[in-house]
Amino acid sequence: MNRRFIDWIWHIRGSLELAPGQSGDEAFGRLDTLFRQAGTSHDRTRDTLTFRKKDQAAQDKMSIFDGGVLQIEKGAAGPVLRYHLTSRALLFCFLAPLLFLGFAQITIALGKLNKPSTEAAGKSGKASDASKKPEKKQAALPQNPIDKALGSPAPEKPKKDGADKAEKEKKKHSPTAAYVFAGIFAALYLIGRILEAWLVKRLFKKRLLGA
């Protein structure tokens, strides 16, 4: 498989036309302060700037990126800045939903495996209960007249031990939490992928075309 078909997940590419008459040296000079942040190292040749980030500070405007390459190329209308940036944070947010979906499938499988033993235990419990004397039914607790007048809900009937156990087992093997986390990280990735691409382009444009 061509890596190009999947590296868009954590790679951001883009281009910007330079201002009329702006040289490559002037363009890199305007962007220079972005690559002189704590945790950032960079190398520059004539028309290419390569940077790497490690333990970058949160205040860094490009902290989400771990490295990248910026090049000045000749375009039809004049010089063009082309950039290729990488982000492990975006890759993590993309893979996290898949991880939690895997957890959900494991939870469902464990619930299915545990179901026969739970049913067998329930049947044996019913058989032993049948041999015993019938117990008195637990009546619902009476509601206080004052609470009733205030519109408070009536107290629930006490649940049997078997019902409580079944409910606990159901919650224990529920994949809901895994699905929720998968949805959260999927939303984070979609928002981050679109937003970060727009923010970095705006940042470069502001530096290149600003006063």
* Res 6: pLDDT: 86
* Res 7: pLDDT: 87
Of the candidates 82, 59, 56, which has an alpha carbon nearest to the alpha carbon of residue 67? 56
* Cβ atoms of residues 91 and 107 within 8 Å: no
Measured distance CA(21)–CA(87) in Å, rounded: 32
State the first-to-last Cα distance of the chain, in angstroms, to the nearest integer: 45
* Cβ atoms of residues 24 and 8 within 8 Å: no
* Res 151: pLDDT: 60
> Helix (H, G, I), strand (E, B), or coil: what is residue 114?
helix
Give the CATH fold of the 3-87+195-209 domain. TATA-Binding Protein (3.30.310)
* Res 80: pLDDT: 94
Measured distance CA(43)–CA(72) in Å, rounded: 14
Sheet of 11-17, strands arranged across: 11-17, 79-86, 67-74, 48-53, 40-44
Which are the contacts of 141, defined by CB distance < 8 A and separation ≥ 6?
155
Measured distance CA(19)–CA(204) in Å, rounded: 12
* Res 132: pLDDT: 56
Measured distance CA(186)–CA(78) in Å, rounded: 39
* Res 128: pLDDT: 53
Residues across the chain: 211
pLDDT in tens, the chain (211 residues): 566 678 899 999 999 999 888 888 999 999 999 999 999 999 999 899 999 999 988 899 999 999 999 999 988 888 999 999 999 999 999 999 999 999 999 988 888 887 765 555 555 555 555 555 555 555 555 666 655 655 666 666 655 555 555 556 556 668 889 999 999 999 999 999 999 999 999 999 999 987 5
* Res 70: pLDDT: 97
Instruction: Give the predicted TM-score (pTM) of the model.
Output: 0.70
Instruction: Please tell me the chain's helix, strand, coil percentages from 3-state DSSP, rounded to the nearest 5.
Output: 55, 15, 30
Q: Is 21 left (phi over 0), alpha (psi -120 to 50) or beta?
A: left
Q: Is 36 exposed, middle or buried (0-12, 13-18, 19+ CB in 10 A)?
A: exposed
Measured distance CA(28)–CA(25) in Å, rounded: 5
